Amino acid sequence: MTRFGLALLMILVIQGFVIFSEAQLKMGFYDQTCPYAEKIVQDVVNQHINNAPSLAAGLIRMHFHDCFVRGCDGSILINATSSNQQVEKLAPPNLTVRGFDFIDKVKSALESKCPGIVSCADIITLATRDSIVAIGGPTWNVPTGRRDGRISNFAEAMNNIPPPFGNFTTLITLFGNQGLDVKDLVLLSGAHTIGVSHCSSFSNRLFNFTGVGDQDPSLDSEYADNLKSRRCLSIADNTTKVEMDPGSRNTFDLSYYRLVLKRRGLFESDAALTMNPAALAQVKRFAGGSEQEFFAEFSNSMEKMGRIGVKTGSDGEIRRTCAFVN
């Protein structure tokens, strides 16, 4: 190879390395372009969380549902712009997702300081972490640099978001499709320690489990009777909300796992964790373990989830308004 050819090759290699480096998530991605970006997100979260601690559950659910469809690219935020456009937000799994207005507030605060710099995908990821920390839950690293997707698809949301009625095979398949394993499944299910659910997400377990007016035998009968008599009075109830972790719905703790072992998890997907030996072993370990250990491992799984299918570099865009593609 000539000296000129070797020099050209070296330039191309260096350019390729730079492009590759720029295309990765990294801690402090906005340090030069919007130095106070993460502080702005944190401040807006802290201004609202005391009056609305349930925001944490809404945001972590939004983050989860976003990452499982086309990766963590903010596509769950996109509004339909015509009557026949079917976006993720309109899919049944997302009809009860909350926090869209809050993400818009954070975006507005960032746009006023650093227009066109911080992605909506990073806002969801940062705000989720900060809201969990604000209610006393774990913290985790959030490397930034995600870019926003331009496509939002109803059918993909239906096919990829793990359903509350999923059995273990369904759950581990959907998690596996995203590069997550059994341990991640059990850890991320631990987010059910906060928040509420509508009766419609589990009422078949109470009233018509196999289509003959029966009750799910994997659900504790005393708990089921209590739900039927005091909360979800009929299978048609789609408005009543029930705490997923009764008594501590705004406290991030280990009680979810103890409830699962008592057969008092609200969803079939909760009960499914006891149907596989590896998953059950993890449930037992967390139920009897330390909160500190759970927090550390939960944090690792959240950071792992936050990297699913991210768009970086020149892929995607930075939306000016989170609900609309530029």
> Any binding-site annotation on 203?
no
Q: Return all residues near 33 (Cβ < 8 A) that are at least 6 apart.
A: 114, 117
Task: Give the position of tokens 């964790």.
Answer: 273
> Any binding-site annotation on 301?
no
Distances in Å between the Cα of 150 and the Cα atoms of 71, 91, 278, 324 are 12, 17, 38, 9
Q: Which two tokens stand for residue 60?
A: 């972590």
Q: Which two tokens stand for residue 67?
A: 């990452």
What's 78's DSSP letter? P
> Any binding-site annotation on 162?
yes
Strand partners, 242: 197
> Any binding-site annotation on 83?
no
* Residues 295/137, Cβ–Cβ less than 8 Å: yes
> Any binding-site annotation on 198?
no
Under DSSP, is residue 196 helix (H, G, I), strand (E, B) or coil? strand
> Any binding-site annotation on 75?
yes
> Any binding-site annotation on 253?
yes
> Any binding-site annotation on 270?
no
> Any binding-site annotation on 237?
no
Report the alpha-carbon distance of residue 157 to residue 141 in Å, rounded. Answer: 27
> Any binding-site annotation on 73?
yes
- The single-letter code of the amino acid at 72 is C
User: Taking the chain, what is the end-to-end CA distance rounded to the nearest angstrom?
Assistant: 46
Report the alpha-carbon distance of residue 251 to residue 265 in Å, rounded. Answer: 16
Under DSSP, is residue 317 helix (H, G, I), strand (E, B) or coil? strand
48 in catalytic set: no
> Any binding-site annotation on 63?
no
The residue annotated as part of the active site, out of 48, 63, 65, 198, is: 65
**What is the set of active-site residues?**
65
Detail the residues annotated as belonging to a binding site for Ca(2+).
Answer: 66, 69, 71, 73, 75, 88, 193, 245, 253
Detail the residues annotated as belonging to a binding site for heme b.
Answer: 192
Detail the residues annotated as belonging to a binding site.
Answer: 66, 69, 71, 73, 75, 88, 162, 192-193, 245, 253
Detail the residues annotated as belonging to a binding site for substrate.
Answer: 162
